[in-house]
Amino acid sequence: MGATCQKRRYIILTVPERVMVKLSRLLLIAWTVISGLALLSSATVADAVCPQVGFTIVEPHASPATRAVRVGKNQTLFVQREPITTTSDIVEIKLAREFDDDADLLIKFTPAADQRLHDATTNHSGRRIAFMFNDEVLLNVVWEGPYGIDPGGTRVSMHHGMKRFPKLMKAIRGCTGATAGDRTP
C-alpha cells in the first residue's frame, strides 16, 4: 500500500510539472504567433498610409496589364498596373514655386528607377506618360522626340501646383528616403 501511495504521489507531482511545461510551450508559441502578426500588420498599416506617387505609362486601350483611372468627370485613362517609378524609388523631392500658384516638383530617383524612366521615354516619341498620386492623375503628357528623361532627376511642372503639391509632399513624408523641403525663390 505504501508503494501505491508513493506512485500516486509521484504522478500527482509530475502532472502539474507536465502541464506547466506544456503551458509554457503553448504560451511561447502564442507569443511568437502574436508577435509575427503584429509585425505583419504594422507593415500593412505603413503600406496603407504611404501613397503611391510616380510615373506610369498610359495605354490607348484597356488590357489585363492596365487599370482604369478617371480624369475629371468624363475621361478615363488606362494606365499600366506596373508603374515606371514608385514612392519608394524617390530619394529626394523638393517643391519649387514658380509664378503665383504654379509649382514644380524636383524629384531624384534611385539609379534603377532613373534607368527605367530613361528607357520608357527614350525613342518613344508619342508615348503618353502620367504622373500619379494614388489614383489621381496629376499630369498626363505625350512624350515628344527621341530623347528620354535623363538620369539624375526630373522636374514636374503644374499650373496651380501650389494647391496640390504641398498635399502630396505631406502625404509622402516618411515614405521615401527623400529630404522633403520647400525651396521658394
Q: What is the pLDDT along the chain (185 residues), one digit of tens a residue?
A: 555 555 555 444 455 566 666 666 766 676 666 766 655 544 444 445 889 999 999 999 999 999 999 888 889 999 999 999 999 999 999 888 767 778 888 999 999 999 999 999 999 999 999 999 999 999 999 998 888 888 888 988 888 778 888 888 888 888 886 544 433 33
What is the pLDDT at residue 146? Answer: 85
Phi, psi angle pair for 55, to nearest 5°: -95, 145
What are 65-101's pLDDT values in tens digits?
Answer: 999 998 888 899 999 999 999 999 999 998 887 677 7
The helix (H) or strand (E) run that includes residue 21 is helix 2-49
Beta-bridge partner residues of 79: 58, 67
Inter-residue contact 114 to 122 (CB < 8 Å): no
What pLDDT is recorded for position 14?
55
